[in-house]
Amino acid sequence: MKSKITQSLVAGIAATVVMTIIMMIAPMIGLANMNPPEMVSGMMGMPIAVGWIMHFMIGIVFAASYVFFFSSKLPMESKVLKGIVFGIIIAILAKIGMTIMGTIAGGATPGPEGAMIPMIMALLLGHIVFGIVVAFIAKTPKIA
């Protein structure tokens, strides 16, 4: 992959697919039932199809932030470690963003089902997996 835009698109779509699969499996392993497209569509008052489109667009934007900024700023060599750190950062950003959007929408959004600890663990697991996939797909420049 040559261009950073292509890297962002491919990494964002692939990582969002993998993350979504993880989040669908999460309730089967005792973690919270989280459906990001449903949450996003509920906040926007739009059909679930719009939630799915937004879910992938957000994934592409997060991947672009890795490609254009984080990949060269994270000082570690390991792609796994870079992916974990990036995943934790975007999990925090996602939680803040969802909280803000939920507040703006007047709390009329479907949230994750279950206790807080399993919800946080599912949030972290999904975003860490997302970060690792992005780190492996996106070409990381050499740190001098």
DSSP string, 35-65: -HHHHHHHHHT--HHHHHHHHHHHHHHHHHH
pLDDT at 144: 41
Rounded to the nearest 10°, the torsion over CA 98, 136, 67, 57 is: -40
Beta-strand ranges (E) seen in the chain are none
pLDDT at 110: 52
pLDDT at 107: 56
Q: List per-residue pLDDT tens for the chain, 144 residues long.
A: 578 899 999 999 999 999 988 888 878 887 777 788 887 787 778 899 998 999 999 999 999 999 999 888 888 889 999 999 999 999 999 888 877 877 776 655 455 555 677 778 888 888 999 999 999 998 765 544
* Global pTM value: 0.84
pLDDT at 114: 58
pLDDT at 112: 54
